[in-house]
Structure 1
């Protein structure tokens, strides 16, 4: 590889990583317009393994908007990102796949403020498919593969003395 090709690859990796980060931030902040803008025109997402829906970016943004009202506190942690670039119709490496693990602590709305622990934590793997467009890298596909979840258990009352 030449230095120019290596630099282009590094720049693409950074740009793809930025899209994944912006995805997490848009969901955590409830910025559904930013969420929709991360997707290519034909982009889709599939949250069925986590009890959700599958559809185009607009449909998913609408569903997330309603669902995330239950969780005013949420923080996606997307880690172990593996990026692979591919060719689209013998083009110049205009597709990418990212497989990344996630942990997502969330807190239900309406809690009394006594506890600061999350009420709901889930984890699994994302599979992102990206496409280079005239506007930069965009999501063509997001598939959530939830592997586990935990809900807060009521704490036992202290024994009376």
Structure 2
């Protein structure tokens, strides 16, 4: 590889990383206009494994706004990002796939500000499909695969043999 190609790859990786971070921040802050802007015109998201919906960015943002209003605090942590460029046949380098794990602690709204509410925590894996557009990298696909969740309430006593 030439230095120019290597620099372009590094710049793309940084832009993709920024897009994934912007996604997490938009969801956590409830900035649904910013969330919708992250998507390509034909972009879709699928939250069905977490009990949600599948649809275009407008439909999913509306569902997220309603369902996440139950939580006074959200802190989306997206880690272990694996980025692959040009995954489609005959691609010219304008697509990318990102597989990343997430942990998402949230606090239920209770008595106004939620400061005494119990935590709800879930985790899993994202599969992002990205497309380079005239406006930069955008989400073409977001698929959530929730793997676990911890709900508030008493935990069962450990079994001692």
Check whether TM > 0.5. Answer: yes
Post-superposition, which runs of at least 4 consecutive aligned residues in structure 1 deviate over 6 A?
none
Query: Secondary structure of the residue that 2:60 maps to in structure 1?
Result: helix
What is residue 115 of structure 2 aligned with on the other side?
Answer: 113
What is residue 94 of structure 1 aligned with on the other side?
Answer: 94
Judging changes above 3 Å, is the alpha-carbon distance between structure 1 residues 88 and 121 closer, same or farther for their aligned structure 2 residues? same
Structure 2: stretches of 5+ with no match in the other structure: 156-161
Structure 1: stretches of 5+ with no match in the other structure: 156-161
Q: Distance in 2 between matches of 1:129 and 1:89?
A: 14
5 Å-filtered alignment, 1:138-157, equals: 138-154=138-154
Query: Secondary structure of the residue that 1:141 maps to in structure 2?
Result: strand
Q: Distance in 1 between matches of 2:8 and 2:64?
A: 34
| Structure 1 position 72, deviation (Å) | 1.6
Pairwise CA RMSD: 1.6
Q: Structure 1, residues 128-160: CA drift from partner, whole Å, max 9, x if none?
A: 0000000000000000000000012248xxxxx
- TM-score normalized with structure 2 length: 0.90
Q: Number of paired residues?
A: 153
Q: Is 2:60 aligned against 1:64?
A: no
Q: Is 2:50 aligned against 1:30?
A: no
| Structure 1 position 123, deviation (Å) | 0.1
